Amino acid sequence: MNGNSLVYQLVSRIPSGRVATYGRIAKLSGIKSPRLVGRILHLNPDPQHIPCHRVVNYRGKLADNFAFGGEIEQGNRLESEGVEVRNGKVDLKRHWW
């Protein structure tokens, strides 16, 4: 399995109402750079089944360049799943996967 496929598989396992960080996905997939995970997710071939909106940075910040509608859309998707977003951030202690 290549790195991209593993990233997509891991992100697909993040349950609704939870988030993971780029760093956690990188570590679990054996990728050295969380930024590379971000690039892979930016190319998500199936956003309906691979919920890349559930991935945030190590501080809980939403993606400035969320590929599927920007930071506001990412926040809206998370909030629709019960994730509280304040000032463009998610409380990782509360919503961590």
CA distance 71 to 3: 25
Catalytic residue among 10, 26, 52, 83: 52
Ramachandran angles phi, psi of 52, nearest 5°: -65, -15
- Is 20 known to be catalytic? no
Cα–Cα separations (whole angstroms), residue 79 to 26, 54, 83: 24, 11, 5
Nearest to 29 by CA among 40, 19, 18: 40
Q: Where in the sequence numbering do the catalytic residues fall?
A: 52
